[in-house]
Amino acid sequence: MSCSRRDFLKEAMGGTLASVMPLSAFVLLSPEEAKAAIDGSKVRWAFLVDTQKCTGCGLCVKACKTENEIPYDAPVTRTWVERYVITKDGETHIDSPLGGRDGYIDDKIRDEEIDPKNIDKAFFVPKLCNQCDNPPCVQVCPVGATYQTNDGVVLIDRNWCIGCGYCIMACPYGVRFFHPEQKVADKCNFCYHRITKGMQPACVECCSFGARRLANLEDPDDPVTKIITTERVAVLKDEYGTKPHVFYLGLDFNVR
């Protein structure tokens, strides 16, 4: 068998190319998969909180705890409502007993009586997971138990979480907590089981005043998306660069 130098180089080149080509390059995509790969996700969940409308009834917290099977009397909650009372002497009084689960029916704050005449302004601020675009809680997970879905919601894999608590430390908004029964990290996921069925999150459904609303930022016709894109909305702790996706209308600078 004879082999010229030219043939040898040709064959060797082809063989090298064939060997470095990964097998995955030959996977055939169905038309749906190909379309999905090009278009990406057509859903990006976000949230709009109108602090001007919140009355501090706490029914959202009650509904959330029931819907998501969070122990009712444990001092942990996926969403909570904070009360801010700013008095004329410049003091800011903040409280959130049990996350506002039982509503605010007493004007005492931390057993302190405040004369209504001394109040400059008082308001309620609901808080929940911001479903950040750069979630620090996901970055720190050592086992890949928490992640961002393609529609922007950050989820926790309860079978995979080892309960180390890094994510609870990493979240600048303090929305993560240790689930006392599941023994894993837990947090709000916009009621993922509801929104993926076309329902509203439990807190949105139970809010009588329209203070909480869900939006799909990828849908320009979504009325809530229109508010977020056209009106003056604020986010919490913008300086952390987490790109939070819970937007607030009427947010006061005293809110941290």
Q: Taking the complex as a whole, how short is the minimal distance between the CB of residue 125 and another protein, in angstroms?
A: 12
Q: Would you tell me how many other CB atoms lie within 10 Å of the CB of residue 228? A: 18
Give the contacts of 44 (CB within 8 A, at least 6 positions apart).
Answer: 151, 152, 216, 217, 218, 245
Q: Taking the complex as a whole, how short is the minimal distance between the CB of residue 121 and another protein, in angstroms?
A: 6
The one among 93, 94, 205, 235 contacting another protein by CB under 8 A: 205
Does 94 bind another protein (CB under 8 A)? Our answer is: no
Query: Which helix or strand (DSSP H or E) is residue 186 part of?
Result: strand 185-186
Does 211 bind another protein (CB under 8 A)? Our answer is: yes
Nearer to another protein, 3 or 198 (CB): 198
Give the contacts of 205 (CB within 8 A, at least 6 positions apart).
Answer: 63, 199
Q: Taking the complex as a whole, how short is the minimal distance between the CB of residue 29 and another protein, in angstroms?
A: 15
Residue type, 100: G
The one among 80, 124, 166, 248 contacting another protein by CB under 8 A: 124
Nearer to another protein, 9 or 199 (CB): 199
Which pair of structure tokens corresponds to residue 113?
């009586």
Cα–Cα dist 125/189, whole Å: 19
Query: Which helix or strand (DSSP H or E) is residue 243 part of?
Result: none
Does 72 bind another protein (CB under 8 A)? Our answer is: no
Cα–Cα dist 79/132, whole Å: 16
Q: Taking the complex as a whole, how short is the minimal distance between the CB of residue 25 and another protein, in angstroms?
A: 17
Q: Taking the complex as a whole, how short is the minimal distance between the CB of residue 33 and another protein, in angstroms?
A: 13
Q: Taking the complex as a whole, how short is the minimal distance between the CB of residue 221 and another protein, in angstroms?
A: 22
Biggest CA–CA distance in the chain, Å, is 106
Angle at 228 between CA 240 and CA 186, to 5 degrees: 50
Does 43 bind another protein (CB under 8 A)? Our answer is: no
Q: Taking the complex as a whole, how short is the minimal distance between the CB of residue 10 and another protein, in angstroms?
A: 37
Does 144 bind another protein (CB under 8 A)? Our answer is: yes
Which range, of 2-10, 18-26, 155-163, 170-178, touches another protein by CB under 8 A? 155-163
Cα separations in angstroms, 13 against 8, 16, 17, 18? 9, 5, 6, 9
Q: Which residues bind another protein (CB under 8 A)?
A: 52-59, 63, 66-68, 85, 102-107, 116, 119, 121-124, 135, 138-139, 144-150, 155, 157-160, 189, 192-194, 196-197, 199-200, 202, 205-206, 208-211
